[in-house]
Amino acid sequence: MTRVFLVWVAVAAILLARGWSGIVERHFPDPDDVLRLVQVRDLLSGQGWFDLHQYRIDPPAGTLMHWSRLVDLPLALVMGSLAPLIGSGLAEQVALVAVPLITLGAILFAIAKTGSRFLDARDVTLACLCAGTSMFLLTQVQPMRIDHHGWQVFSVMLALTGLVPGRSARGPALSGIALAAGLSISLEVLPVTAAFGAVFALRWLSNPREKAALTVFLGSLALSTGVLFVTTRGLGDLALHCDAVTPPLLGLFALAAAGAGLAAWINPQSRPLLVVMLGVPALAGAALYLGTSPQCLAGPFGNLDPLVREYWYLYIREGQPAWQADAIVWIPPVAQGLAALATLVWLVFHRRGMERRWWFEYLVIAGAAFLSGLLVLRSLAFVGALSAVPLGWLTGRLLDTLGKVEGPLRKAGVAMVITCLLVPSVPFAAAQNWMPQAAAAGEDELSDKRVCDPNEPLDPLRNLPPATVLAPLDLGPALLEQTHHSVVATSHHRAAQAMHDVIEAFMAPPAEAREIVRAHSVEYLLLCTDLKEIELRATTAPKGLAAKLVKGQAPDWLERVPLDKSPEWQLWRVRSR
């Protein structure tokens, strides 16, 4: 594990060097990270463990968040333990840097543990290096990235270490517990969980003596998910949400586990009968879940307000299918994933016995993650982690080839293949240099420097009495983190009606916007005129409030408040009459 530690140190050092200015200036990668910090601060300030409301979003009732306390816990432990020693501000900064890097180390450890089953020490190190070159994975574990995605990846990779060949029950139990933790964090882990269930079911179907694997996996999954639900969410919120574990979903897992246990006790000798005995309880559980929560058939965002869907959700690229992003964003990680899948297929056909079965099971799980990544762009982080082991093996074979081939051209060719395998964005960068039009397009994109930055310090607002502020959705978390004010909404779908009102207020004519402002008891309006969100509102509704403010045509119910900032930043006080 010394080599793995050194890889972690190297990758962590690169991430620190690359993001140092952002760390110093407290530039968060995403507004979700900012709101996560606000949630942890509230927890440390005395808000209840089971109280997941953010009371400064859509006050006075606030908004119930779907985030898990499991992700808050390491942040709270670091901040709470260090604050008495070095002060709360520095303790926060340490947590913002240390926790993501610890997550990275945990992922690399799990990759090494998994790879050590059938790879030698050199190839295990190469596997960790392959993970260290996955941009989608590193994005989720960079300093200041404290949202939940890195821990989701770790839960899947920890579950993979439980895919132990043989009859031991410890592996399936570990997989069930790890995936239960992942599901408690986010239901994005559900497709991979289903793949693990399929793997353990196939073990039973291929060898009746391995029936314990599925029963232990489903039992530990059902029990752990239930325990985590009670200990992290409590029994105060039993609503049928589509974005988190709910009682019907617990019922699905329980029925599937009970069905597997009954089948193991009866021990049918007929494979068709075994399939029926395993399938009927699982289908009954799915019917229970969808019958009580039919709205969830469309997914967690399937029933969004039409205005919120059209003018918010469809612009969240990370939640859209991969192919809707720019080619430079999605093609390299997808190409890397395809190379890993092809390697796994080769290994399945060229290995024998226990190793062959293990590579096949790995292929099933990696394939499920790959499909998930195609459908939801941010899930390509799973692909980056799961591809590491097969790509480590492949890189090892290519290095062996590099040592054997003769001639500079052949060596250069093999070296280029290794480079493209580890850093698949290299061909795209080369294409931009070779094709002037592509290079010019890249330069234009880089030259699009905006004054408005959601991470911008908002010091002038701290001197104002606490109030509710109408602000663009992406500015909401910064307001909550830097000031004592409340906001109407942020970019978090649980506050769908409040999000609707924010979008409509900026797009509606000033007279109609005034009524929305009154309904939410808004006292201030904050915006930055070249923020993309404001540009979208102004372009879509040229007679709306945002368009008027961008043009300097404020309605008479707004009074300008001077700000010691660039002129693009505007703060308005809502007149009482």
pLDDT score for 59: 93
pLDDT at residue 296, rounded to an integer = 86
pLDDT top residue among 131 and 457: 131
d(CA 504, CA 307): 8
pLDDT exceeds 60 at position 432: no
Name, in order, each residue with C-beta under 8 angstroms of 434's C-beta and a sequence gap of 6 or more. none
Residue entry with tokens 């964005």: 425
- Please return the burial class of 252, using the count of CB atoms within 10 Å of its CB with bins 0-12, 13-18 and 19+: buried
Nearest to 218 by CA among 196, 238, 240, 241: 196
Residues 6+ apart with CB under 8 A from 49: 43, 69, 232, 234
Which pLDDT score is estimated for 166? 67
Average pLDDT, the chain: 90
Confidence of residue 15 (pLDDT cuts 50, 70, 90): very high
Q: Sign (positive/negative) of CA torsion 443, 445, 446, 449?
A: positive
CA nearest neighbour of 381 among 345, 337, 428, 320: 337
- Domain borders along the chain are 2-115+135-303, 304-421, 459-574
Q: Which pLDDT value is given to residue 389? A: 96
- pLDDT(519) > 50: yes
Quote the distance between the C-alpha of residue 144 and its chain's center: 14
Identify which of 107, 61, 29 has the alpha carbon closest to the alpha carbon of residue 381: 107
Determine the average pLDDT of the residues in 311-333. Answer: 88
256-314 pLDDT tens trace: 999 999 999 998 888 899 999 999 999 999 999 989 988 888 888 878 889 999 999 98
Beta bridge partners of 487: 57, 469
Average pLDDT (170-197) is: 95
Coil, helix or strand at residue 486: strand
Distance CA 73, CA 356 (A): 39
* pLDDT at 563 > cutoff 90: no
Q: Does position 438 have pLDDT exceeding 50, yes or no?
A: no
pLDDT higher than 90, residue 107: yes
In angstroms, the CA 289 to CA 421 distance is: 42
Task: Write the pLDDT tens digit of every residue in 394-416.
Answer: 999 988 888 777 778 887 887 88
Supply the pLDDT for residue 442.
41
**Cα distance between residue 446 and residue 454, in whole Å:** 18
Instruction: Transcribe 402-470 into DSSP letters.
Output: HHH--SHHHHHHHHHHHHHHH-TTHHHHHHHHH-HHHHHHHHHHHT---S--TT---GGGGGSPS-EEE
Strand runs (DSSP E) across 486-539, as ranges? 486-487, 524-528
pLDDT for residue 427? 62
pLDDT at 80: 95
pLDDT digits (tens, 9 = 90+) for 189-222: 999 999 999 999 999 998 888 888 999 999 999 9
Specify the higher pLDDT residue, 182 or 429. Answer: 182
In this prediction, residue 297 carries a pLDDT of 84
Per-residue confidence band for 441, with pLDDT thresholds at 50, 70 and 90: very low
pLDDT at 241: 87
Percent of the chain with pLDDT over 70: 95
Per residue in 131-143, pLDDT (tens digit) is 998 888 999 999 9
